[in-house]
Chains A and B, each alone.
Chain A
């Protein structure tokens, strides 16, 4: 059990560019969640997967955001045509089911859009 891994840890990009983040969950965890967190706020739900199926997507998420979990293992989150308002910490969490609402978080990818 190596924990949830996210790459890259930091990403600096220019407005209008596309970025992609990767999350490797704890092995055998069937659920994978993406959150966005800004300074002084709690994690904001973006989307989640059960195995390879994307079950829920936040209504706040624009069409510029897309996520995949092609084989039910790692997941990618892509942001197209980045905007300065996308600057945030993007967190990934995984769980085996949701007993006691326990999620295991990765260290996150900090995105800065210039």
Chain B
């Protein structure tokens, strides 16, 4: 089966850097992705890692280590609008399902 573990909540200060970790177990790994969801909104795609290493997209970066079944999302220069839930998700190679973690609620303090 598949499972993902991520912290339920993280708190950081505006302007700071925060890292949200994700560990996964899957029978057939096919990439780790990250989604952002504001309260009452739809999940929106942020980043994807298919290979080991760091992917950077503006203030957001994502890292993957396939040998450790581990990844993280790094948010820099935090802004109040970054207050949201962040989900890691894996695609299972066997059946193409995308499985989401339970999400990390990011609280940003002024």
Q: Which bracket fits the contact residues of B? A: 20 to 34
The answer to whether B43 and A101 touch across the interface, beta carbons within 8 angstroms, is: no
The answer to whether B45 and A48 touch across the interface, beta carbons within 8 angstroms, is: no
- If over half of A's interface residues share one DSSP class (helix, strand or loop), that class is named, otherwise mixed; here it is mixed
Q: Is B44 an interface residue (CB 8 A)?
A: yes
The answer to whether A43 and B97 touch across the interface, beta carbons within 8 angstroms, is: no
Given contacts A105-B44, A107-B41, A100 and B33 within 8 Å (CB-CB): yes
Q: Is A106 an interface residue (CB 8 A)?
A: yes
Q: For B102, list chain A residues within 8 Å (CB).
A: 40-42
Q: For B101, list chain A residues within 8 Å (CB).
A: 42
C-alpha spacing A101/B101, complex, angstroms: 14
Q: Mark B67-110, 1 if CB is under 8 A from A, else 0.
A: 00000000000000000000101010001111111110000000
A39 to chain B, nearest CB (A): 10
The answer to whether B42 and A102 touch across the interface, beta carbons within 8 angstroms, is: no
The answer to whether B103 and A101 touch across the interface, beta carbons within 8 angstroms, is: no
The answer to whether A105 and B43 touch across the interface, beta carbons within 8 angstroms, is: yes
The answer to whether B48 and A106 touch across the interface, beta carbons within 8 angstroms, is: no
Q: Is B7 an interface residue (CB 8 A)?
A: no
The answer to whether A102 and B48 touch across the interface, beta carbons within 8 angstroms, is: yes
Q: Is A45 an interface residue (CB 8 A)?
A: yes
Q: Mark A76-110, 1 if CB is under 8 A from B, else 0.
A: 00000000000000010100001011111111100
Q: Is A28 an interface residue (CB 8 A)?
A: no
Return the contact of B97 from the options A41, A56, A104, A105 (Cβ within 8 A): A56
Return the contact of A98 from the options B87, B96, B100 (Cβ within 8 A): B96
State the A residues within 8 Å of B (CB). 4, 33, 35, 40-45, 48, 55-56, 91, 93, 98, 100-108
Task: Give me 11 A-to-B residue pairs in the complex whose CB atoms sit less than 8 angstroms apart, sorted by A's number.
Answer: A35-B100, A40-B8, A42-B87, A42-B100, A55-B95, A56-B96, A91-B43, A101-B31, A101-B48, A103-B98, A105-B44
